[in-house]
């Protein structure tokens, strides 16, 4: 029995190595792997506590974590329409977030290692996020930062639901 168990563990270890699975997130609880649909994106101002729905009351978007350790995020404002003038293009860019890269999980912290982004200043950076997983609800909180949209120091809080 010990021999069979040892062989199974060796096979599992080899599968992890061959597939390039992110061992820190694969098979670990909580499991972030999957497709997550955006429910809300709220910015809480540090100075006042005022909360703002950055991408509207019903934003659109997805966050995807693969078992191989890759992630992709696309979050947009609820009211998007095709651009007619350059100002419209600027607003389409201003009211969205899109990036992809590898990710690692350490306790309640997930680090997005960005290799491509809508905002070139994020490309090549590590975006640290903190998460809370409750059933099919995932809440991601960013560290205090200056909002790319308002310019005000805030803490972003983004809520997703797991898609099955």
What is the predicted pLDDT for the residue at 4?
44
Helix locations, the chain, DSSP H: 2-19, 86-94
Res 70 pLDDT > 60: yes
Q: What percent of the chain has pLDDT over 70?
A: 80
Residue 163 has pLDDT above 90, yes or no: yes
| Global confidence as pTM | 0.77
Answer whether residue 125 shows pLDDT above 60.
Answer: yes
Give the closest residue to 30 by CA, choosing from 102, 101, 100, 131.
Answer: 131
Looking at residues 123-138, what average pLDDT do you find? Answer: 96
- Structural domain range at position 125: 22-163
Cβ atoms of residues 124 and 114 within 8 Å: yes
Distance between CA atoms of residues 36 and 87, nearest Å: 31
> Where do runs of H (alpha helix) occur along 45-131?
86-94
pLDDT of residue 75: 95
CATH number of the domain to which 119 belongs: 2.40.128.280
**Of 92, 62, 56, 58, nearest in space to 75 by CA:** 62
**Helix, strand, coil % (nearest 5) of the chain?**
15, 45, 40
Counting the structural domains of the chain, the total is 1
- Position 30 scores a pLDDT of 59
Domain assignment present for 75: yes
Q: Do the domain assignments include residue 7?
A: no
Band (93; pLDDT cuts 50, 70, 90): confident
């Amino acid at each position: 029995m010990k021999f069979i168990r040892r062989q199974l563990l060796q096979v599992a270890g080899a599968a992890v190595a061959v597939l390039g699975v992110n061992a820190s997130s694969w098979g670990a609880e909580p499991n972030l792997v999957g497709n997550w649909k955006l429910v809300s994106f709220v910015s809480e101002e540090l100075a006042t506590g005022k909360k703002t729905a950055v991408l509207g009351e019903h934003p659109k978007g997805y966050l995807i974590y693969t078992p191989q350790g890759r992630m992709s995020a696309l979050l947009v404002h609820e009211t998007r329409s095709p651009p007619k003038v350059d100002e419209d293009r600027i607003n389409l860019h201003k009211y969205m977030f899109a990036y992809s890269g590898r990710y690692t999980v350490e306790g309640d912290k997930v680090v997005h290692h960005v290799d491509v982004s809508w905002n070139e200043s994020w490309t090549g950076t590590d975006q640290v996020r903190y998460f809370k997983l409750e059933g099919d609800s995932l809440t991601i909180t960013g560290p205090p930062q200056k909002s790319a949209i308002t310019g005000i120091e805030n803490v972003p809080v983004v809520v997703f639901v797991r898609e099955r």
